Amino acid sequence: MTGKLIYTTVFLSALILAHAGGLDFEKPAEKGVTINKGKDISLINAAGEPFRARGVFYYQSRASHFYFLEGLDIDRVDSDLELLSKTGFNTVGLGLNWGELVIHTDPQDSFRPVEYNLENVRKLKLLLDAVKKHQMYVYILVGYEKVPPEVPAKKYEAVSDNSGREIEGFRGYLIEDFLLDPAVNSGFLDYLRVLAKTAAAYDNIIGSAFYFEMLNPQMPYAYDWPILNRNWRRYLNDRNPEVDYWNRRWNTKYKDISRIPLPLHDRDYWKRWYKSRGAEPHESHPLMWRDFYDYYIGGILTEGRYGMSFEQMSDAIKSADPGALTLFKPFYPKRWAWELGFVEEYVKDGSIPDDARRAFDRYFTPTGIDMIACWAYPDFSRESSERARQLSFDIFAEKIDLLFGVSSLPVFCQEFGIDHHQWNQDECSIFLANAIKYFNSNPVLGYNIWQSHDFIGHPHTDQIQPNFGIFDINGDPYKAVEKITELQTEKNLPSE
């Protein structure tokens, strides 16, 4: 893989630093979870037995995916996992963050970690031990939202809890530097190696996933990212240095490549943002979006020419644990299909342009990744009619069906559920039951329900709201267990 020698050198230095910082790595497990990619696709455990992951993201009310380890009460983990395992769940998802394990870095040395949070590393090991004790599997979502203090990160106004209150101390959400700054990349890759080296001792790790829906270049804040803008112009110049070529292609009148901005959307809720930054909102030409995705998908995520690639991240983990499985979580597959020319209104002769297909295939089947992690939430209408409920599930299933059609990688449903508290429990339970039925009738390696939060709701609010409808927030959590068990053992809804 690209940069193997460089990765090995950096990995050795990371191990030296980790050992000096008090980290001791246990002996790697002889075997771990693998994938059977034959006719009967499935996950295979260390004993050679096939299984389907049936999971829930494990959080406590004070431990979110922003501050998972820091807010975790390790003394109650055992009873929580016992409760989950009794429902028939065999998997827990963990959301870990860079800044929770690496609390200080050296800005003069490529942001290399110089101090680890030993208390949080201890918590992680105790948590993994507890999961192993209950004969469950682990799925790790690798987070970048919370970063070490020395890493440059912008604070965006959208970072708030469900009540609209800003999350205290939250710095790294949506950071441009995460993908594009080589110094920050180096520090993050070291973190991945330490995380992988810690997890290597366990034979029940399904995989580690990278997710980038919050680094979505379609969103308006990307307009403010200097490195993204600068590298975008580098990409254009590398492809064709003549601005006239791009003007003809996009039907524009730019005077110089150095003045070409990122593509814009004419969305009502983004117009104020654009205007505050001196940009006139408009809908950019479809070919401009296609070229931008070729830059973002090909030049950054899959080839690493203008930023950190999936392959670099996967290789960082596998250099520390050769048996590790990696996943990546794409965002908005239906939207990408639309803007890359996978709809008739953008394709005059009814065929898919080769450049669009290449970009789409590269993004959904990246080199060095073992699984694709899908995710989906419904879009209930306010009327809450039966038709609306069914339509919501149709949208949900369509997103995953699209992945089956465009990616050769096996699919793991990293998260699904209801992310809004306004829908009643009957509606949410209908969606949950439909989703589980869908997974059991399709070649999905497993699923994780988002999210447990002690069988309550989102953790940052003063007034906790219901989550995805199956949990009784005012009663005994064991009532919630009964509801989940009922859904999983229904006559037409087998557990496996």
SS3 string of 288-342?
A: HHHHHHHHHHHHHHHCCCCCCCHHHHHHHHHHHCCCCCEEEECCCHHHHHHHCCC
pLDDT at 191: 86
Confidence of residue 316 (pLDDT cuts 50, 70, 90): very high
User: Is 173's pLDDT higher than 50?
Assistant: no
Residue 106 pLDDT: 73
Q: Which residue has the higher pLDDT, 260 or 334?
A: 260
Pairing of strands 411-416, 371-376: parallel
Contact 453, 465 (CB under 8 A): no
How far apart CA 26 and CA 198 sit, in angstroms, is 7
Each residue's pLDDT tens digit, 357-404: 677 777 778 888 999 888 766 655 445 556 666 666 776 777 777 677
Residue 324 has pLDDT above 90, yes or no: yes
Q: Among 119-128, 289-298, 458-467, which stretch is predicted with the lowest mean pLDDT?
A: 458-467
Q: 369 with 314: CB under 8 angstroms? A: yes
Q: Mean pLDDT over residues 112-137, rounded?
A: 90
Minimal CA–CA distance to 304: which of 243, 367, 356, 254? Answer: 367
Report the length, in residues, of the chain.
496
**Helix axes 182-199 and 4-20, enclosed angle (nearest 10):** 70
In this predicted model, which residue has the larger pLDDT, 482 or 33?
Answer: 33
How many percent of the chain have pLDDT more than 90?
19
Nearest residue to 113 via CA among 198, 23, 173, 202: 23
φ/ψ (deg, to 5) at 414: -70, -35
The answer to whether the beta carbons of residues 314 and 208 sit under 8 Å apart is no
Paired sense of beta strands 371-376 and 326-329, if any = parallel
DSSP 8-state class, residue 27: P
Burial pattern 377-405, b for ≥16 Cβ within 10 A else e, equals: bbebeeeeeeeebeebbeebeebbbbbee
pLDDT at 300: 85
The answer to whether the beta carbons of residues 113 and 194 sit under 8 Å apart is yes
Predicted confidence band at 48 (pLDDT cuts at 50, 70, 90)? Answer: very high
Residue-wise pLDDT tens digits, 2-25: 332 222 333 333 443 444 356 778
- Average pLDDT value for residue range 251-266: 87
Amino acid, res. 491: K
* Least confident piece of the model among 63-67, 326-330, 434-438: 63-67
Strands 91-97 vs 102-106: parallel, antiparallel or unpaired: unpaired
Bigger pLDDT: 56 or 496?
A: 56
Average pLDDT, rounded, for the chain? 72
pLDDT score of 382: 46
Strand locations in 133-172, DSSP E?
137-143
Q: What is the rounded CA–CA span in Å between residue 128 and residue 204? A: 9
Identify the structural domains of the chain with CATH numbers, from first to last. 4-488 (3.20.20.80)
pLDDT number for residue 124? 92
Residue 168 has pLDDT above 50, yes or no: no
**Residue 242: is its pLDDT beyond 60?**
yes
In this predicted model, which residue has the larger pLDDT, 77 or 143?
77
The closest of 304, 438, 313 to 378, measured between CA atoms, is 438
Whole-prediction pTM: 0.79
Banded pLDDT at 341 (limits 50, 70, 90): low
**Closest by CA position to 90, among listed 46, 139, 47:** 139
Q: Fill in the amino acid letter for 420.
A: H
143 pLDDT exceeds 50?
yes
Strand pairing class (411-416; 444-449): parallel
- 161 pLDDT more than 90: no
Closest CA to 433 of 388, 475, 390: 390
Question: Is the pLDDT at 204 greater than 50, yes or no?
Answer: yes
Q: What 8-state DSSP symbol labels residue 108?
A: T
